[in-house]
Structure 1
């Protein structure tokens, strides 16, 4: 009863937070809607600006309050919301006793084909709002701009009407680019507290970052070309070489455009796939792009796009702190299907949800390349270990497989990680039956889900849904991936109480191959004193710490910049009637923002690292020294026949079909139950097929969720 009341209270608090965040967000969007209108420019803003312009913040005080503060506030609210969600979801008993609820229209997949692919109602709503905002803003900007251009005004300026309209259009294209830039960085903040607040994830939203980037560069390129044409026609080509101390700095804008074009060219699919390191190098030019963009438009207008970039900077610096340390790799299992499982040591305080991902860098293969992989372990079932499975498909993964499958002995492999990142909460227990449909390596996120149910069923004695795993492989050797469902452990796991059914389809092989390699190779690595377990960078209360970092660093920025403007810039401008250099003002703001974030995030990181080390030592003292691998097994390769592994536990629940593909429509329609959750991971064509079946309306009990990683 107490747990139920606690869960209800948490739900009410979360609902209140979402309502407040939604109201603030709607107000922020309303400002965007009104900004192009004459009402805002001539009536509202002139009345509002004098009340916010002070000797501490200057003219940008109004922009900070109207454009920047609302998103910072929403981000902090999101951190509180996600902290409550994590604690609520972390209670196993609450999860077992939680109410079952149906999928709403906001997270149900509603578009299957076309350029959007599989998207939720929330994604469609945001996309429609953004497109409407862009069309509305451009139309009103152009209408109001052209309305002020008359033949009389053109004659007075010794230009033609169409030339003045070209300049007006060029300016408006730049303003539209600023709108795209304002939303560009939200999807790429991996630890975002804003996206989950609205039911979105960074993994599913990365495609919008790509589209926004393309749109941004089209608009900014058109903006630059229109101005160059205008200057050439009006004999003002020398404007290209001007860097004004007030107003727009043309050279800074041109440099920002050049850096943006270099990034844009490097994002083409051919370069990204064939020359990833070139793509990585050039994409880091975003730092110079943003810096010169701010120099170009000035810090006052930059406050419009600042919130998204500010949150990205916080996220990026925290990732930088985590990736500086190499982690302890315990072992690697090499499967006969050119797949490897990496097992890392982790702290007990690091918890994560099923379907999480982790970014991995192995300097011996590539010092620059970071690749995301599904986490297959379960933080409740395996408190001191975290695992990822890597399928040999690209150049980087093939090199890793060759390295680990070679006969030569490898004592140690240096690895750095970022993450894990995943959903703030999951509620798969709301379904009576859960159907997991995978193609190839798409089975890996489902391993973590099945292990979660294994934990709930065996440790918590919680009733779990019926699980039907439909996995499609090309070759028989890939059947060894099913063996990874059970973790490496000396404790036997009884899956007899789990209602698990596995249907494996081998499309290329017509029958079982007798000469297939049936040995799984395990490599153990020697511990290195410099390697550390993977830990939660901000501890178990990471969301609260993130909220504190965002709010505190922003407050420190406001205090420092306020003092600097009041006691340095203000006396210069008002005592000597000089105008303080706009580029220098912008540089000081950027510097103070970076310093504030670095100081606050570093302090939070060090405090949590110290606290985490103490907690880990206490746990080790209570549990005793962790078992160490013998020297012989550390440096040698152990070959274990698959038939002797827990794979035998799945024989009775596994049906293998050779030479055919599954009839997904028939299989799904035959499943009984009032609520059937359908998850699909793997090739795009397969996910679209499953989504189309579930959304066809022929079976109202099917609720589809797509798992797609498009980093």
Structure 2
């Protein structure tokens, strides 16, 4: 692991190397900020006459060539900057993984305190959910950009109308709805960034894909609102103008109305199933219809043409590349070592939980609060479900764990399958893990972890990571206060999972850990609440492999190389196709060669380059991962000594030490009441208190309201939501 290698390095060379890396990262960040600002400025001035009549004309004349046709300008100012940021961002993130700074002081200067105020929740209850000051500021700036673009587009468009008299209003109507589509393209250009799980852009902004889902939702609603207004408004316009036949128009070289209508049709179906009640109660319907984005984008390309599609192509390209890499990773079956079935109440099936433990490559490192997506083909070949990783990659180098609570049909089938004595092997595929790019655990004096029910799972990884830091790195760690709320006393068994089987409660002596548990529906504990989890071992299979990143240890470097190589390949083959096939036909007039054919050719070239480069990188790293996997050849070595027929295991050595029972016995448990969160939080007097909330929406909103009220200055809130 990187942390262990760094610890073995001499102190002076360690700090020297860290300083050099930090200097390089600062330079990269300055360049990234400059490019990003330039890209934003282009979007701001694009609706103006300055851009259309001056900049665009000059740059189009300069960049017009027989190799790129009239699309050189779009490639240069809309595609290249984003991919440049993605590539350079990959290098920045790779450099950030070289040194793990566990010695970073937790004292906050004025700038951090100022930033902390902006990170406080300003909106808690409402359609937007929990929104911090920074998020609200950027949201208002984005709305201002949309308003500016639409009003400027309309002002410029109305000025071009030369018709006077009674028909002028029809032209203004057409100009208005056309500009609604142009404005909607701004939203569409950003729509896919938040859902690119392996993105190298989101971490640059301090974001994760899971935490950015709400931005995707906001952008999706705004995109479909503008596109729906744009598309449906043409129908009455054509009717009034006596041109209803335009609804069936598919021009050879211009805008295709039929393609636009089909794109809107699929988009509306997708949009309708995102209604919260449908998404929660019919998740499979929501999940499957969401794949209509493929048809939505395909017909959008046919509708506007590839030239205009270049405006939104970068975000979609990075998403498709990430999706293909996820497909390659998920094509392998992973090695499921064992499961721990937690005790449950016979009267309530929803209290059933289990922990799955997978073998992982020792070189796979991830941060707390990471998550993986799990697929069990024997239950459903298409359904993927996200789960928070509960283990620490530093504390357990060869194992990755997740906790699954029965909350629906899929989880119930998995629970029954795992606990069934007839199954000795379970085929499982995973995607991930995905998580924050850096650790932010040592910057606070105290960590208050507030959870409700299954919301405790991300906090298990945090506690285990701090356990590693305090034990192995010999660093001072924050005081930890875990406040957990459960419905029934049997659910207290979730606390058993804080300490992995490889550790004991004596290791917790290095941590200042307080656990306060609240059981809301019972006045006294049940008989089985101290019962131990049941361990179920699975037989190894030669086709299974440990979990590893699809691009290996140097994941960010490989990702940057794939983005750069595939784009260069696209430019080369696009140039050859244009110069020797398309240009001899239309000579850059764009009114002879079919627009649909040009779009198909360019998209096939782009996807082909992406698939070839990504597949090559994946296969190369798969071989390297296989070599490392040989170090874990005898998987039975960690299997307990038991009869071959036995899959249920309660080892004597585990029962003798009773490490997990000690956790429950040392826990402060309150029955028949809820925690007074305001009182508990205000009792924390340290200068910097990090407050993490995970669980039901009401719990997160309550904690956010307390931290955002501004009654105390030392509370710093961070929500961990399950938006899937």
- TM-score w.r.t. the length of structure 2 is 0.92
Whether the aligned pair in 1 keeps the contact of 2:530 and 2:664 (CA below 8 Å) is no
- Which of 45, 51, 59 aligns to 1:40? It is 51
**Paired residue for 2:144?**
132
Q: What are the residue-to-residue correspondences of 1:36-75 with 2, within 5 Å?
A: 36-75=47-86
Mapped to 2, the partners of 1:672 and 1:576 lie a distance apart of: 71
Q: What are the residue-to-residue correspondences of 1:169-184 with 2, within 5 Å?
A: 169-184=176-191
Q: Which of 656-665 and 17-26 deviates more?
A: 17-26
Mapped to 1, the partners of 2:129 and 2:511 lie a distance apart of: 34
Mapped to 2, the partners of 1:60 and 1:648 lie a distance apart of: 67
Whether the aligned pair in 2 keeps the contact of 1:411 and 1:635 (CA below 8 Å) is no
In structure 2, relative to structure 1, the CA distance for the partners of 1:610 and 1:577 (3 Å cut) is closer
Shift of 1:223: 1.3
In structure 2, relative to structure 1, the CA distance for the partners of 1:303 and 1:539 (3 Å cut) is same
In structure 2, relative to structure 1, the CA distance for the partners of 1:669 and 1:8 (3 Å cut) is farther
Shift of 1:272: 2.9
**Paired residue for 1:456?**
469
**Paired residue for 1:387?**
401
Shift of 1:520: 2.1
- Which of 201, 213, 216 aligns to 2:208? It is 201
Task: Give the number of aligned pairs.
Answer: 699
Shift of 1:239: 1.4
In structure 2, relative to structure 1, the CA distance for the partners of 1:32 and 1:328 (3 Å cut) is same
**Paired residue for 1:85?**
96
- CA deviations over 1:72-107 (Å, ceiling 9, x no partner): 111112111211222223xxxx31355644466277
- Which of 322, 335, 360 aligns to 1:328? It is 335
In structure 2, relative to structure 1, the CA distance for the partners of 1:577 and 1:607 (3 Å cut) is closer
**Paired residue for 1:432?**
445
Work out whether 1:668 is the aligned partner of 2:675. Answer: no
Structure 1 residue runs of 5 or longer lacking an equivalent are none
Q: Which of 655-664 and 636-645 deviates more?
A: 636-645
Whether the aligned pair in 1 keeps the contact of 2:249 and 2:258 (CA below 8 Å) is yes
Mapped to 2, the partners of 1:558 and 1:575 lie a distance apart of: 17
Whether the aligned pair in 2 keeps the contact of 1:349 and 1:536 (CA below 8 Å) is no
Whether the aligned pair in 2 keeps the contact of 1:549 and 1:597 (CA below 8 Å) is yes
Q: What are the residue-to-residue correspondences of 1:211-226 with 2, within 5 Å?
A: 211-226=218-233
Whether the aligned pair in 2 keeps the contact of 1:122 and 1:198 (CA below 8 Å) is no
Shift of 1:359: 0.5
- CA deviations over 1:465-523 (Å, ceiling 9, x no partner): 11111111111011101110011227775222221111111111112223658342221
Secondary structure of the residue that 1:568 maps to in structure 2?
Answer: helix
- Which of 436, 457, 461 aligns to 1:423? It is 436
Secondary structure of the residue that 1:428 maps to in structure 2?
Answer: coil
Structure 2 residue runs of 5 or longer lacking an equivalent are 1-11, 344-350
Secondary structure of the residue that 1:133 maps to in structure 2?
Answer: helix
Work out whether 1:144 is the aligned partner of 2:156. Answer: yes
Root-mean-square deviation (Å): 2.3
In structure 2, relative to structure 1, the CA distance for the partners of 1:40 and 1:696 (3 Å cut) is same
**Paired residue for 2:542?**
529
**Paired residue for 1:308?**
315
Whether the aligned pair in 2 keeps the contact of 1:342 and 1:388 (CA below 8 Å) is yes
- CA deviations over 1:419-478 (Å, ceiling 9, x no partner): 000001112112222111111111100000110111122222222111111111111011
Mapped to 2, the partners of 1:536 and 1:11 lie a distance apart of: 25
Q: Which of 463-472 and 629-638 deviates more?
A: 629-638
Question: Displaced runs of 4+ in structure 1, greater than 6 A?
Answer: 575-578, 640-644
- CA deviations over 1:357-394 (Å, ceiling 9, x no partner): 01111122222111111100111111111000011112
- TM-score w.r.t. the length of structure 1 is 0.94
Shift of 1:48: 1.3
Whether the aligned pair in 2 keeps the contact of 1:34 and 1:40 (CA below 8 Å) is yes
- Which of 396, 418, 439 aligns to 2:410? It is 396
Whether the aligned pair in 2 keeps the contact of 1:447 and 1:485 (CA below 8 Å) is yes
**Paired residue for 2:129?**
117
**Paired residue for 1:105?**
115
Mapped to 1, the partners of 2:695 and 2:395 lie a distance apart of: 25
Mapped to 1, the partners of 2:239 and 2:439 lie a distance apart of: 59
Secondary structure of the residue that 1:372 maps to in structure 2?
Answer: strand
Shift of 1:697: 2.7
Mapped to 2, the partners of 1:543 and 1:416 lie a distance apart of: 22
Whether the aligned pair in 1 keeps the contact of 2:505 and 2:663 (CA below 8 Å) is no
